[in-house]
């Protein structure tokens, strides 16, 4: 091995987790350009592992403005696909449900998230968290620009790594024992298909030259005379061709027991590979279907997209509905109905994490609610005004005013999924 290939073998051992023999065999078949791509893959893996907390990565505060196809945060961030990143960022910026889910993980970023939702740029800490969520949702490979994806996919084919294994390596994880065993076996098979002095073939490629070179060296029969059919068997090891009845055309010898076993084993491997690909495709389809269901579910709940924090959960709605039924079941005077209804409205605002402070008057609180919940601009001021007239002004409630109050009160509850 050349010095560069030896270094590449060391990188493969650390990056993939393979043994030294397999690593050297894989490195021996890489061109200088592919060895450079291997080094880039290792560097990208280290950066990804820092972002998503794998293999020596950390979740400490990062600084900078990466993630837009450039150097990234602090100059040590992975390059991300700019189009996919902008789409992800806009989804977070414009979707309160997505913001709420992110704040469940990082509640300390409430202020930064409000700034982002208002059209501002993400802060340093929020940028780092968003990059982490982006890579986890997209997958390491899909997060990269198209040119880098193509480079690593070509390298993966040369090394015998599929898409799943490349994502695994990029996220900072070595292959499992089963995966390493498959890789070592494929490497040995690929070595067996080479003749002396030949370059290493790419995984999945046959080599008739191995048999030809073996025959030239050992003086034995060609691959056709051995019945190998281009399998690259060594010359001089198979039986001599037997002539046909007319003595003109040679006939192929029957397969040996070992050859039959090898042929059966290859068929089994092909069947298993097909099943593996089918299983992966099924998982992808299941994941897409699940994402679609979740998208529809959350879309149906986004009737008020301007609300800064979460909606009422099922338990909150049940509790409020029970209180509303109890209030309606009791005979109340118009004044009592107005006061109790307003207090129930305050309970709703507390449950959506927007409580009224004691020093804030009902009128000022109504103005604040309207600013944050524009769809409540009609009912809330009216409900607050009638409450102030009754509670502070000790006024009587006329029948027409009470009916209008009830109608506006229903509008408030309807905005939060209550009837």
Residues 49 and 172 sit within 8 Å (Cβ to Cβ): yes
For the ranges 14-28, 208-222, 363-377, 404-418, the lowest mean pLDDT is seen at 208-222
The CA distance from 168 to 55, in Å, is 12
Percent of the chain scoring above 90 in pLDDT = 11
Max mean pLDDT range (104-108, 159-163, 250-254, 284-288): 284-288
Give the model's confidence band at 253: pLDDT under 50 very low, under 70 low, under 90 confident, else very high. Answer: low
pLDDT at 355: 86
pLDDT at 302: 59
C-alpha dist (Å) from residue 352 to 303, 343, 348, 373: 14, 15, 7, 11
pLDDT given at position 123: 80
User: Which of 80, 57, 64, 56 lies closest to 131 in space, CA to CA?
Assistant: 80
What's the CA gap between 353 and 346, in Å, rounded?
Answer: 11
Decide if 252 contacts 231 (C-beta within 8 A).
Answer: no
Secondary structure class of 235 (helix, strand, coil): coil
How would residue 300 be classed by pLDDT, with cut points 50, 70 and 90?
A: low
The answer, as to whether pTM is greater than 0.85, is no
177, 157, 160, 150: which is closest to 23 by C-alpha?
160
Domain extents for the chain? 3-177, 256-302, 314-415
pLDDT 10s digits, 64-99: 333 333 333 334 567 888 888 888 888 887 888 887
Q: State the Cα–Cα distance between residues 184 and 191, nearest whole angstrom.
A: 11
pLDDT at residue 401 above 70?
A: yes
Rounded alpha-carbon distances, angstroms, from residue 175 to 17, 35, 154, 244, 282: 6, 20, 19, 52, 22
CB atoms within 10 A of CB 35: 18
Comparing 213-217, 290-294, 386-390, which segment has the lowest mean pLDDT?
Answer: 213-217
How far apart CA 264 and CA 261 sit, in angstroms, is 5
pLDDT at 295: 86
Query: Is the separation of the CB atoms in 158 and 30 below 8 Å?
Result: yes
The predicted pLDDT at position 194 comes to 58
The pair of structure tokens assigned to 307 is 């609300």
Confidence (pLDDT) at 228? 40
pLDDT, mean of residues 251-266 = 77
Q: What is the mean pLDDT of residues 43-70?
A: 54
Report which listed range, 53-57, 224-228, 297-301, 310-314, is most confident. 310-314
Better pLDDT: 321 or 67: 321
> What token pair was written down for 18?
């393979």
Q: How confident is the model at residue 216 (pLDDT cuts 50, 70, 90)?
A: very low
Answer whether residue 280 shows pLDDT above 90. yes
Share of the chain above pLDDT 70, in %: 76
Average per-residue pLDDT for the chain: 76
Q: For residues 20 and 141, what is the distance between their CA atoms, to the nearest angstrom? A: 26
pLDDT score at 331: 86
Residue 307: pLDDT band (50, 70, 90) is very low
Query: Which sign does the torsion angle of CA 26, 29, 32, 38 carry?
Result: negative
Which pLDDT score is estimated for 291?
Answer: 92
Taking the mean position of all CA atoms in its chain, how far away is CA 406?
48
pLDDT at 301: 56
């Amino acid at each position: 091995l050349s010095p560069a290939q030896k270094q590449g073998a060391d990188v493969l051992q650390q990056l993939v987790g393979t043994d030294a023999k397999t690593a050297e065999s894989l490195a021996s078949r890489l061109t200088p350009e592919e060895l450079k791509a291997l080094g880039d893959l290792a560097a990208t893996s280290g950066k990804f592992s820092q972002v998503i907390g794998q293999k020596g990565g950390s979740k400490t505060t990062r600084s900078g403005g990466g993630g837009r196809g450039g150097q990234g945060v602090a100059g040590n961030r992975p390059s991300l696909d700019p189009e996919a990143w902008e789409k992800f960022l806009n989804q977070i910026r414009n979707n309160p449900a997505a913001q709420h889910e992110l704040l469940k993980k990082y509640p300390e970023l409430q202020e930064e998230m409000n700034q982002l939702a208002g059209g501002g740029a993400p802060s340093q800490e929020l940028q780092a968290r968003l990059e982490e969520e982006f890579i986890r949702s997209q997958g390491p490979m899909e997060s990269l620009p198209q040119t880098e994806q193509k480079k690593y996919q070509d390298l993966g084919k040369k090394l015998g790594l599929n898409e799943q294994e490349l994502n695994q390596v990029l996220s900072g994880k070595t292959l499992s024992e089963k995966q390493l065993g498959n890789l070592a076996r494929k490497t040995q098979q690929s070595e067996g298909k080479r003749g002396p002095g030949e370059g290493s073939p790419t995984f999945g490629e046959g080599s008739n030259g191995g048999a030809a070179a073996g025959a030239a060296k050992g003086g034995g029969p060609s691959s056709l005379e051995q019945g190998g059919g281009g399998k690259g068997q060594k010359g001089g090891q198979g039986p001599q061709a037997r002539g046909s009845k007319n003595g003109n055309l040679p006939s192929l010898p029957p397969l040996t027991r070992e050859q039959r076993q090898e042929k059966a084993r290859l068929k089994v491997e092909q069947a298993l590979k097909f099943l593996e690909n089918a299983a992966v495709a099924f998982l992808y389809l299941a994941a897409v279907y699940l994402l679609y269901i979740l998208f529809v579910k959350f879309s149906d709940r986004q009737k008020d997209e301007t609300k800064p924090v979460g909606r009422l959960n099922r338990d909150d709605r049940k509790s409020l509905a029970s209180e509303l039924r109890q209030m309606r079941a009791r005979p109340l005077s118009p004044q009592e109905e107005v006061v109790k209804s307003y207090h129930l409205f305050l309970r709703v605002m507390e449950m959506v994490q927007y409580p009224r402070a004691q020093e804030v008057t009902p009128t000022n609180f109504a103005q604040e609610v309207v600013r944050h919940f524009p769809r409540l601009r009609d009912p809330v001021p009216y409900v607050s005004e009638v409450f102030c007239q009754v509670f502070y002004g000790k006024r009587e409630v006329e029948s027409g005013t009470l009916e209008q109050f009830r109608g506006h009160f229903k509008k408030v509850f309807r905005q939060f999924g209550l009837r």
